[in-house]
Amino acid sequence: MANPKSVLESYKKEINRSLEVFFNLQIAKSNKKAAFFKNSLKSLREYHLRKGGKRIRALLVMLGYTLFKNKRTAGMAKVARAMELIHSSLLIKDDIMDEDILRRGKPALHYFFEKLHQKKYKIGDSKHFGISLGILSGDISSIYAYGSIIDSSFPNQYKIRALERFNQMYFDTVYGQMIDVLNSYRKKVALKDILEVYRYKTAKYTIECPLHLGALLSGAGKRELNLLSSYAIPLGIAFQIKDDILGMFGDKKTVGKPATSDLEEGKQTFVMFFAFKKANQSQRKFLLKCFGQKNIKIGDLKKVRLIIAETGALQYCQEYANLLVRKAKKALSVFKGVNKNTLFLLNYIADYIIKRDY
C-alpha cells in the first residue's frame, strides 16, 4: 500500500475541506441574520481551520468505516466532520473552565471575544462577555455536529444508531470533564480519579467512539465494536499519558502552548501522580512548591523535569504507555477478513501516538 503518512494526510485534507465548505455554506446562509452573528461564525470557522489540528478523531471515523468496507464513501466525511465540530465545542468550553487564553498558538475563543469587547463595547465586563459568547459559540459548534450526522446520506436506521452512539460519547466526555474540573479543585487526587478522566475524556472520546461511529455506519455488529474497544481503550490511555509527558517536556513551538502551563495550572496527571509518589522528601517539597504556581521560572521547570526523570516516574510512565500500545496492537491481530490496508493504518497510528512530539 501507499505510504501511511500520505494516506492519512489525504484523509486529513478531505476533512479540512469538508469543514471549510461547511462553514462557508453556513456563513452564506446567515446573510439575513444579524451581522454580529455572521462575524461570530467567521471566528468559529477560523478556529476550526487553525493549523495544528491533528484531526485524529475524524481520521478514526473514516478508518472505522473502511476497516469493514473496502471503499470510501463521500458521506463519511460528514460524520468525520461531526467529530471535529464536537471536538471544537468541547475545547472552547474547556478553555473557559481552565482559563486558558491560547489554543493552537492563537487566542482561545472566549478570549477572542473578551478582546473584541474591550475594543468595541462600552458597557459591562469584558471577561464575562467573553465567557458568554464562548459558551454560545461552543453550543453552535455542537449543534452543527449533530446536524452533520442527521444530514448525512446513510439509511435512517444507521443514522439513528450513529446518533445514539454519538450522544453517549458526548455524555461520557462531559462526565470526564466534570471529574477533571473537580480534580483541579483538589490538592490530592487518587489515581483512580485520574484514570477515570483518562478513560472517559480521552480513551472513549478520542479513539473508541470515532471508530465505533465509522464501524456502525459500515453495518458492523456488536462483536466488531467490542474488538475495536479492546484496541481503543488502552491506546487512548497511552495517548493521554503521552500528552502529559509532552505537556511537561515538549517544545512550545510544536506543542502549541508553553511547557510551563500544565505545571502552573496544577494539572493532576498520571506523570505528576507518580513523580509525587516516587519523590523523596526534599523533591516532594520542591514539587509542591511549583505545582499550581503561576509565572513559574524556566529554571524551576527544568528542576521539576529533572525530578520526574530522576525518580524514575518518567521512565515508568513511558513504559506503561508502551505496554498499553502493545496491548492495543495485539487486539488488532484478532480481526480476520477485514480491510488489510486499514488494519495497517491502525497499527501505524498506535505507533505514532507514542512517537509523536506534538
For 31-60, letters b (16+ CB in 10 Å) and e give eeeeeeebebbebbbebbeeeebebbbbbb
Q: Does 121 bind its own copies (CB under 8 A)?
A: yes
C-alpha distances out from residue 10 to 82, 187, 209, Å: 18, 45, 22
- Smallest distance, its own copies to C-beta of residue 186, A: 7
Site for its own copies in 147-176 (CB under 8 A): 147, 150-151, 156-157, 159-160, 163-164, 167, 170-171, 174-175
**Residue 124 found at the interface with its own copies (CB under 8 A):** yes
| Torsion over CA: 84, 88, 89, 91 (sign) | positive
Return the residue of 43, 132, 293, 347 that touches its own copies, per CB under 8 A: 132
* Residue 103, φ and ψ in degrees, nearest 5: -145, 120
Among 28, 37, 54, 153, binds its own copies (CB under 8 A): 37
| Contact residue for its own copies among 193, 264, 300, 310 (CB under 8 A) | 193
Question: Please, what is the minimum distance in Å from the beta carbon of residue 38 to its own copies?
Answer: 11
Using the rule CB under 8 A, give the single segment among 14-22, 134-142, 278-286, 333-341 that binds its own copies: 134-142
Q: Which of 88, 177, 229, 268 binds its own copies (CB under 8 A)?
A: 177
Within the chain, residue ranges assigned H as helices are 4-29, 35-49, 56-66, 75-98, 109-120, 126-150, 156-183, 191-197, 209-218, 222-249, 252-255, 261-265, 270-278, 281-290, 298-310, 313-332, 340-355
Which of 71, 119, 122, 355 binds its own copies (CB under 8 A)? It is: 122
Cα 48 from Cα 274, distance rounded (Å) = 35
Burial class of residue 101 in the structure, from the number of CB atoms within 10 Å of its CB (0-12 exposed, 13-18 middle, 19+ buried): middle
Pairwise CA distance, residues 287 & 66, whole Å: 47
User: Does residue 294 interact with its own copies by CB under 8 A?
Assistant: no
Give 156 or 295: the residue with its C-beta nearer to its own copies.
156
Q: In the complex with its own copies, which residue's Cβ is closer, 151 or 251?
A: 151
Is 4 a residue that touches its own copies (CB under 8 A)?
no
99 CB-near residues (< 8 Å, 6+ apart) = none
Smallest separation, CB 10 to its own copies (Å): 30
Query: What is the C-alpha to C-alpha distance for residues 253 and 257, in angstroms, rounded to an integer?
Result: 7
For the CB of residue 102, give the shortest distance to its own copies in the complex, in Å.
18
Q: What φ, ψ does residue 339 adopt, rounded to 5°?
A: -65, 115
**Which of 51, 71, 119, 187: binder of its own copies (CB under 8 A)?**
187
The stretch near its own copies (CB under 8 A) out of 17-25, 89-97, 297-305, 337-345 is 89-97
Task: Verify binding: residue 91, its own copies, rule CB under 8 A.
Answer: no
User: What does the block give as the cell for 126?
Assistant: 469584558
Q: Are 122 and 109 in contact (CB under 8 A)?
A: no
Looking only at residues 312 through 341 of this chain, which bind its own copies when binding is defined by CB under 8 A?
none
Nine-digit cell at 137?
459559540
Size of the site for its own copies (CB under 8 A): 52
**CB–CB of 191/224 below 8 Å?**
no
One of 20, 46, 99, 319 touching its own copies (CB under 8 A): 99
Torsion sign (Cα): 21, 145, 14, 339: negative
Closer CB to its own copies, 40 or 311, in the complex = 40
Note the residues at the interface with its own copies (CB under 8 A): 33-34, 36-37, 40, 93, 96-97, 99, 117, 121-124, 128-129, 131-133, 135-136, 139-140, 142-143, 146-147, 150-151, 156-157, 159-160, 163-164, 167, 170-171, 174-175, 177-179, 181-182, 184-187, 193, 196, 292
